[in-house]
Amino acid sequence: MTDGDRPTQETAPSPPVMLVVDADQAARVASRTGLHRRFGADYEVLAADSAETGIAVLHELAHQGREVALVAADLELPGSGGVAFLEQARDIHRRAWRVLLLAMDERGTRIPFGALEAIQRATALGRIDLWILKGWGAPEEIVYPHIQEALTAWTKATYARHEVLRVVGDQWSPRSHELRDRLARNTVPFGFYPVDSAAGRRLVQEHGVDRTRLPAVILHNGTVLHDPSFSDVAAALGVHTRPAVGDYDLVVLGAGPAGLAAAVNGASEGLRTLVVEAEAVGGQAGTSSLIRNYLGFPRGLSGSELAFRAFEQNLLFGTEFVFAQRATGLAASADRRVVTLADGGQVAARAVIVATGVTYRRLGIPKLERLTGMGVFYGAAGVEAPAMVGEEVYVIGGANSAGQAALHLAKFAKRVTLLVRGNSLQVGMSDYLVKQIEATPIITVRLHTRVVDGHGQVRLEGLTLKEDQLGREEQVAAAAVFVMIGAEPGTAWLPDAIQRDPHGFILTGGDISRVTWPLARRPLPIETSLPGVFAVGDVRAGSVKRVAGAVGEGSVALGAIHRYLTDPAPAPARAP
């Protein structure tokens, strides 16, 4: 320990720690001083002159029960180097952000190209979270914005936020899980209090909660909703669950990346736009803990952050949203397309975009289906991950969503096992995720393996696995399993006039049979076989099933919409 910094036991709650490790005394002092000047009111900034001393400090902080928000280390740290040190730091404080410090090269360029290979490798393997330059201009320009971004992400993941709602229920109740998952995916700030905890019992007594009708939602004014539907909660929060009017220029069904992109482009170009969403803003992408390959975000961003930004952008352009409503019918009526909603209401539009996405396929194993929400989860790694501290957990799937879930769970669980039926991760998963998984010691990948049974009465306690190549079965202990095995489009509600492939995905453009196409002109690229109805994102046959692809389709959809709206040939009414 150098520079007079040493953690001390304090009677008052201690602030979280930021640690700088750099053998260059001048650079170390400058980094510590700059961070203390900007963040010292909320964080204790410590410094160490070697990897050995830094590790000792981190162990001492862990022994004291101190939170470490961020660890920054110089790339050229003597010994094994800064990257190896940051890997060791993650083993001690698994949620701390890891920052690689780089000196400018001799040319004074913004990116030290001599270190680029090391940066690329460390980033690809998930060994660092971000890198910043030392000694470049004013810290307000380079250092502070990146550090603030890291601290914001760490705070969101670590501390309870302002609670708009308080939920009291059983930790392993399916209804409790369902409600918490919907709230989390819709970025509603809430706190969860197990009914058998001291805080839960206190809330039960203070608010007269009926323990026989859980989960209970306590609103900010003290009102209690017993075993509410998400629609009940949305209405209590003042969220629109019905359209304001009956006629729009454009109705978008689904608020995933494709639907949000289509809506923001429609609204920004002056179309009166309505988005109807049944589950949550962001769709399946909203559950992704970190998307690293989205253009313009070199350090990645979570699916929920991307979705919330797009939602806010839509609001500013005037897009109207209706939540907790599912489309149940779609038909043509003269020059309008009419959408029927789950509550029986209808809304008409000049054009409709179907962007309803997909849902994860079910396992179909009776014992595990019975334990859904009680240790068996379809997606939902985000809301349940903090409860997995010290546990053995499993993730089923070989696509990007499964890889992202495994990496997120690895911040909490004792061990994460990724089960893949195929013979390689590379078949369905992006290379950057494969590399990070291979470089994460607590993640084990088991190929040619599937789940054939589950065990547990009140909650999941174990799984029976089968290795297909050997035909061997094995029973393992498991606190939770997160299932992400392929996707189903859920398009059975659509009229027969909209053609689908054998798997239910919507056919568009050139894939549509000309036999049933009613107009002289050809279908537009993303137009369905019902003129005036378009499909984008994962629900469309042939889409790339990636977030960036969905956003791209939604963005270019407006070109086809405008061409349709200006086409002089009317689309005839067709029976659903």
Looking at residue 571, what is its pLDDT? Answer: 47
Judge whether 5 lies within some domain. Answer: no
Judge if 21 and 87 occupy the same domain.
yes
Looking at residue 568, what is its pLDDT? Answer: 44
Residue 77 has pLDDT above 50, yes or no: yes
Residue 567 has pLDDT above 90, yes or no: no
Judge if 28 and 115 occupy the same domain.
yes
Judge if 150 and 176 occupy the same domain.
no
Using an 8 Å Cβ cutoff, are 73 and 129 in contact? no
Minimal CA–CA distance to 127: which of 73, 77, 78? Answer: 73
In whole angstroms, give the CA distance from residue 322 to residue 349: 15
Looking at residue 4, what is its pLDDT? Answer: 46
Residue 102 has pLDDT above 90, yes or no: no
Judge if 376 and 450 occupy the same domain.
yes
Looking at residue 575, what is its pLDDT? Answer: 43
Judge if 24 and 145 occupy the same domain.
yes
**Could you write out the DSSP letters of every residue in 360-418?**
EPP---HHHHHTBTTTEEES-HHHHGGGGTT-EEEEE-SSHHHHHHHHHHTTT-SEEEE
Q: For residue range 207-237, what is the model confidence (pLDDT) as tens digits?
A: 999 999 999 999 989 999 999 998 899 989 9
User: Which of 185, 209, 236 is the last residue before a domain boundary?
Assistant: 236
- Between 60 and 187, name the one with better pLDDT: 60
Judge if 24 and 126 occupy the same domain.
yes
User: Which of 236, 268, 288 is the last residue before a domain boundary?
Assistant: 236
Residue 6 has pLDDT above 60, yes or no: no
Q: How confident is the model at residue 104 (pLDDT cuts 50, 70, 90)?
A: low
In whole angstroms, give the CA distance from residue 193 to residue 171: 8
Looking at residue 551, what is its pLDDT? Answer: 93
Judge if 382 and 434 occupy the same domain.
yes
Judge whether 552 lies within some domain. Answer: yes
In whole angstroms, give the CA distance from residue 386 to residue 413: 8
Residue 5 has pLDDT above 60, yes or no: no
Residue 57 has pLDDT above 90, yes or no: yes
| Mean pLDDT, range 151-167, rounded to an integer | 85
Question: Looking up tokens 């602030």, which residue turns up?
Answer: 15
Give the DSSP H/E element, type plus range, for residue 437.
helix 431-438
Tell me the Ramachandran region of residue 81: left when phi exceeds 0, alpha when psi lies from -120 to 50, beta otherwise.
Answer: left
Residue 90 has pLDDT above 80, yes or no: yes
Residue 108 has pLDDT above 60, yes or no: no
Judge whether 2 lies within some domain. Answer: no
Judge whether 571 lies within some domain. Answer: no
Judge whether 448 lies within some domain. Answer: yes
Judge if 423 and 562 occupy the same domain.
no
Residue 245 makes CB contacts below 8 A (sequence gap 6+) with none
Extract the tokens encoding 408.
């997120």
Judge if 191 and 203 occupy the same domain.
yes
Judge if 395 and 423 occupy the same domain.
yes
Judge whether 241 lies within some domain. Answer: no
Minimal CA–CA distance to 292: which of 412, 156, 126, 440? Answer: 126
The enclosing domain of 124 has a CATH number of 3.40.50.2300
Looking at residue 465, what is its pLDDT? Answer: 96
Please give the residue range of the domain that contains residue 228. Answer: 165-236
Backbone angles phi, psi at 24, to 5 degrees: -80, 110
Q: What is the mean pLDDT of the chain?
A: 89
Tell me the Ramachandran region of residue 222: left when phi exceeds 0, alpha when psi lies from -120 to 50, beta otherwise.
Answer: left
Looking at residue 419, what is its pLDDT? Answer: 96
| Mean pLDDT, range 416-424, rounded to an integer | 94
Looking at residue 457, what is its pLDDT? Answer: 84
Looking at residue 114, what is its pLDDT? Answer: 64
Least confident of 76-80, 198-202, 504-508, 559-563: 76-80
| Mean pLDDT, range 428-455, rounded to an integer | 92
Using an 8 Å Cβ cutoff, are 336 and 290 in contact? no
Domain count, the chain: 4
The enclosing domain of 523 has a CATH number of 3.50.50.60
Judge if 481 and 544 occupy the same domain.
no
Residue 380 has pLDDT above 80, yes or no: no
In the chain, pLDDT over 90 holds for what percent of residues? 59
Residue 107 has pLDDT above 70, yes or no: no
Residue 570 has pLDDT above 60, yes or no: no
| Mean pLDDT, range 407-426, rounded to an integer | 92
Judge whether 76 lies within some domain. Answer: yes
Report pTM.
0.82
Judge whether 572 lies within some domain. Answer: no
- Tell me, what DSSP letter sits at residue 538? G
Backbone angles phi, psi at 331, to 5 degrees: -145, 165
Residue 17 has pLDDT above 50, yes or no: yes
Residue 160 has pLDDT above 90, yes or no: no
Q: For residue range 492-531, what is the model confidence (pLDDT) as tens digits?
A: 999 999 999 999 999 999 999 888 898 888 999 999 999 9
Judge if 34 and 85 occupy the same domain.
yes
User: Which of 456, 486, 516 is the last residue before a domain boundary?
Assistant: 486
The enclosing domain of 180 has a CATH number of 3.40.30.10
In whole angstroms, give the CA distance from residue 303 to residue 318: 23
Q: For residue range 298-354, what is the model confidence (pLDDT) as tens digits?
A: 877 888 889 999 999 999 999 999 999 999 999 999 999 999 999 999 999 999 999
